[in-house]
């Protein structure tokens, strides 16, 4: 393969390239260095992904806990709504009675003035 690439280089650039053991060894050293850099990059990405997945799992557990709290608060809210509705009903009855009393007082006032 190296010979083919050297021939291709000669055809394009019109310059001969010779592969010597030293240049081949430097090529291998460069490849090893590049491999280590790429491996470290992949390792960092893997750690980031695992960290993100752990955070997503933690968030899902938090959402589950909050759903339980929401259900408990929903029960309290329903109870408070029922109590409020009862109080509104009582106040409506008392308001009607007060309006009747107001009408009676108005009639009495009109009778007294006349």
| Rounded CA separation 58/35 (Å) | 34
Tokens, residue 79: 């109870």
Q: Yes or no: say if 16 and 10 are a contact pair by the CB < 8 Å rule.
A: yes
Instruction: Give the residue from 56, 42, 5, 47 showing the smallest Cα distance to 27.
Output: 5
Q: What's the confidence (pLDDT) of residue 90?
A: 94
Q: What's the confidence (pLDDT) of residue 25?
A: 86
The domain locations on the chain are 22-113
- How many angstroms separate the Cα of 23 from the Cα of each of 8, 55, 81? 18, 48, 84
Distance of CA 80 to the CA centre of its chain: 32
Q: What's the confidence (pLDDT) of residue 47?
A: 97
pLDDT below 50 — which residues of the chain?
A: none
């Amino acid at each position: 393969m190296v010979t083919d690439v050297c021939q291709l280089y000669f055809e394009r650039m019109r310059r001969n390239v010779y592969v010597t053991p030293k240049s081949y060894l430097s090529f291998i050293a460069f490849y090893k260095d590049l491999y280590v850099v790429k491996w470290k990059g992949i390792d960092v990405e893997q750690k980031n992904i695992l960290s993100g997945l752990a955070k997503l799992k933690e968030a899902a557990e938090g959402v589950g806990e909050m759903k339980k709290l929401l259900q408990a608060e929903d029960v309290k809210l329903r109870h408070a709504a029922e109590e409020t509705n009862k109080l509104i009903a009582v106040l409506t009855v008392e308001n009607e009675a007060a309006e009747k009393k107001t009408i009676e007082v108005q009639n009495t006032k009109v009778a007294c003035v006349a």
